[in-house]
Chains A and B, each alone.
Chain A
Amino acid sequence: MNAWRVAATKLLLLAMLATAAHGGTPSAASVGESIYLRGILSSGAPLEGTREAGTTAHAADAACVNCHQRSGLGSREGNLSTPPITGDYLFHEHTHGPAEPVLPYVESMRHREPYTDATLARAIREGVDPTGRQLSYLMPRFTIGDSDMAALIEYLKKLAVHRVPGVTDSVLHFATVFTPDADPAKREGVRTVLEQFFAEKNKFPFGPSPRMWTSDKTAYSKSMYMAKRRWQLHEWQLTGPASSWRAQLDKLLTEEPVFAVLSGVGGSNWAPVHEFCEEQALPCLFPNVEVPVVADRDFYSVYFSKGVLLEAQLIGQSIVGSDHQVAPRLVQQIYRAGDSGEPAAAALAKQLEQHGISVRSESLPPGPAGRGLAAALRAAARSDVIVLWLRPGEIAALGPAPRGSQIVYVSGLMGGLESTPLPAAWRPQTHLAYPFDLPDRRGVRLDYPLGWFKFRHIPVLAQQAQADTYLACSLIADVLNNHMADSASRAYLIEQLQGMLERRIMTGYYPHLALAINQRFASKGGYIAHFSDVPGDRLVADSAWLTP
């Protein structure tokens, strides 16, 4: 007994040492996920795969997610079809009878012999299917040890499409989030569009259709099911300080499980909502925010553009690449602390300083419009360039014109786009960052949503946010109706959106929208523009569409 205890103690110590050496023993689930998503084996070594003729794939480039996608439901790229590899598709046995378990239809699904754990491991290592036939040239032959292979197969089995929260047999639940600092007019305008869109979507609700069978006797469960569910909107109005939003969101999601967060309105801080969506693996689709979160590794949050951060890039590119007679040496920025201009000013300062341009950023104290502005403008008198991250009330009250040689840039998003109330004396020297297509170029793309508002008597309180909201709703309806069939997978929703967006012709305020794997901002560019000499709000582009 003593010997057994000594041996057990030694084993325990060895295990603890091994754990300490590796910073904690990863679970099989996390090993499988790490291999699938990041191409990292349990040892920390990179996953290696080779293809015919010696091309190789390494680490993140070898990760399964690149072709099979995060959902595991595969993809189509050009004439290449990558099949789904979640457990239910891999191990699916065709009985060709009513008892056959149903699989949601995905475009690249195959009809073939089911895998076993052993034949799947062989497929991953040697590139042959259950019947011994070669897999595609694109599929690398991977070097994976037994325990890592078991963890990966376990992960694939768990990727199987399960019942998704927020999706019932007849209802798709969506949330929309309003932060307490959201502009009230924008919030009201967006809310009205959402409610109207949902009401119309549900005007002709369809019941679940019966299970369908194709001619080859493959069962598709309730085909076109996503198109036939009723949409239900949950309005999540957050309150109090940003530090409390996360707890509120957790509680709301528990009480009202939703399939995705659609649209919504934020103020200058959307990060808590973004982080909540990423952690909950919850699609957060096209919120109306000026400061989105830019994070390379995130997946579930999709925005129309980078907002004021894009404006900072546009202004930076204009300053650095401009053909000004004298190269700007000193740039003065003015923003109000706590407002959207603060992160934009920080981003622009960083960009300009990399080009050797000095930047001074004047932070106005939080408070009523105009507070501290006159002093900040006096301090800006010696700079070559003034960048204003200010709201319409402050723009209207700018006072005397700047020195003749000074160049002024204004945030269009914050200042009111073409309605920015720029004093006449400031117009000749001022350029507007404009991260949309110009008003006289986007007409036809906006005719439909504006007509839709008009005929439904929807008051236009914040045209751009409302048009974006309509666009977001119609895009998601398109994805769900035409690209999802009956696959209720949150990740698949994002993947299908990434794939279809580029083909959209009606793109509202944007000349062009596109996404891809690892892209989260659908519109990449904008203009630097100025008001024409003619009184009014006609904008003229300084140059072609810029994609900084």
Chain B
Amino acid sequence: MLASRATVHANHDLTRWVMISVLALVTLLPPPASAGGVPGPQAAVNSAPARHTLITTSRYTLPAILLVRDDDKTVSLPEEVNDGRPVVLNFVFTTCSSICPVMSQVFAQFQQKLGAASEQVHLMSISVDPEEDTPARLREYARKFHAGPGWQHYTGTLEASLAAQRAFNVWRGDKMSHSPVTLLRRAPDQPWVRIDGFVTPDELLQTYRGLSGPSGGETLATR
């Protein structure tokens, strides 16, 4: 099991991404069992079949962009993020059939595990396909995952979605290249905790509780 903890800054983005690319690769099948054989054409991808997460902390500067919430209201990204509650945030799109359903299910189970406190935590899912994902489609998607009142989905213009993705360093050229990232923050003056890779509901809860504890975002844990 791989767990890593690091504090990185914006100028280390490239290095961090290279690390993540190597560590967080998830594949369906393992590398060839070629005893003494030459690696296969996908050797680099095949080398990491298991699930890994990489947890880092970072401070992001959020642009003053407007998004459209799933209740059709136009809202400001910084204001939504700074609404007084701890935030757990991810990026999805409703026609994504592999990565996003897993991430959304993790959010749903995380919200369930929060129980009565679920409304005290702001879950935010921002669409990386805003032209397709109208507020009505987002509502339908939220219903499918039994999203509680504390979990909102966001769309907006293509430019606004891109700006949000760039601000959180999740933009990888197009929506098909997106990868699983979950971001948490206890309060506006705290750094963001970033989980690259597929986090489980229990890990997310554990990370959130570490975030909410007396020592804040410095005591983090992965599985």
User: Residues of A with Cβ closer than 8 Å to B?
Assistant: 51-57, 61, 65-67, 75-83, 108-113, 129, 131, 133-139, 214-218, 499, 502-503, 512, 514, 516-519, 524-525, 544-545, 547-548
Contacts and interface: CB of A to CB of B under 8 A. Distances in A.
Given A134-B30, A134-B49, A109 B131 contact: no
Given A55-B109, A524-B131, A525-B131, 7 more contacts: A56-B105, A76-B176, A79-B45, A111-B31, A112-B32, A216-B38, A516-B132
A517 B42 CA distance: 24
Contacts of A110: 29, 32, 40, 42, 46
A112 B131 contact: no
Given A112-B32, A113-B33, A80 B202 contact: no
B176 A112 contact: no
B174 interface: yes
B157 interface: yes
Given A112-B31, A514-B175, A524-B132, A81 B158 contact: no
B116 interface: no
B7 interface: no
B87 to A, nearest CB: 22
A347 B30 CA distance: 50
A239 B49 CA distance: 56
B129 A514 contact: yes
Interface in B26-79: 26-34, 37-43, 45-46, 49-51
Contact of A216 (B21, B41, B132): B41
Contacts of B198: 137-138
B114 interface: no
B164 interface: no
Interface of B: 21, 24-34, 37-43, 45-46, 49-51, 93, 95-99, 101-102, 105-106, 109, 129-132, 134, 157-158, 172-180, 198, 200-203
A502 B40 contact: no
A137 B51 contact: yes
A81 B178 contact: no
A524 B95 CA distance: 14
A139 B98 CA distance: 9
B41 A547 contact: no
Q: Secondary structure of the B side of the interface?
A: loop
A138 B40 contact: no
A502 B176 contact: yes
B154 to A, nearest CB: 14
A108 B28 CA distance: 10
Contacts of A111: 31-32, 34, 39-43
Contacts of B203: 53
B98 A82 contact: yes
A135 B49 contact: yes
Which 6 A-B residue pairs are closest in the complex by CB-CB distance? Answer: A111-B40, A53-B200, A78-B179, A137-B51, A66-B97, A133-B30
18 contacts: A75-B98, A77-B99, A78-B172, A83-B28, A109-B42, A110-B40, A111-B40, A112-B31, A113-B32, A129-B30, A135-B49, A136-B26, A136-B28, A138-B98, A502-B175, A502-B176, A516-B175, A516-B176
B104 to A, nearest CB: 10
Which of A80, A135, A215, A503 neighbours the largest number of chain B CB atoms within 10 Å of its CB? A80
A137 B50 contact: yes
Contacts of B129: 514, 516
B111 to A, nearest CB: 13
Contacts of B29: 83, 110, 112, 129, 135-136
A215 B176 CA distance: 30
A54 B132 CA distance: 30
A439 to B, nearest CB: 20
A137 B28 CA distance: 8
Given A66-B98, A67-B97, A112 B40 contact: yes
Nearest to A65: B97
Given A131-B33, A136-B28, A137-B51, A54 B176 contact: no
Contacts of B179: 78-80
A545 B105 CA distance: 32
Given A55-B200, A216-B41, A77 B98 contact: yes
Given A80-B26, A81-B27, A502-B175, A52 B41 contact: no
A214 B131 CA distance: 41
A56 B176 CA distance: 23
Contacts of A139: 28
Given A79-B21, A81-B45, A216-B38, A136 B176 contact: no
A544 B159 CA distance: 12
A137 B106 CA distance: 13
A547 B26 contact: no
B157 A544 contact: yes
A52 B39 CA distance: 28
A514 to B, nearest CB: 7
Contact of B41 (A67, A80, A134, A214): A214
B95 to A, nearest CB: 5
A502 B174 contact: yes
B102 A51 contact: yes
B38 A517 contact: no
A67 B99 CA distance: 9
Nearest to B98: A67
Contacts of A77: 96, 98-99, 176-178
B152 to A, nearest CB: 19
A134 B46 CA distance: 12
Contacts of B158: 512
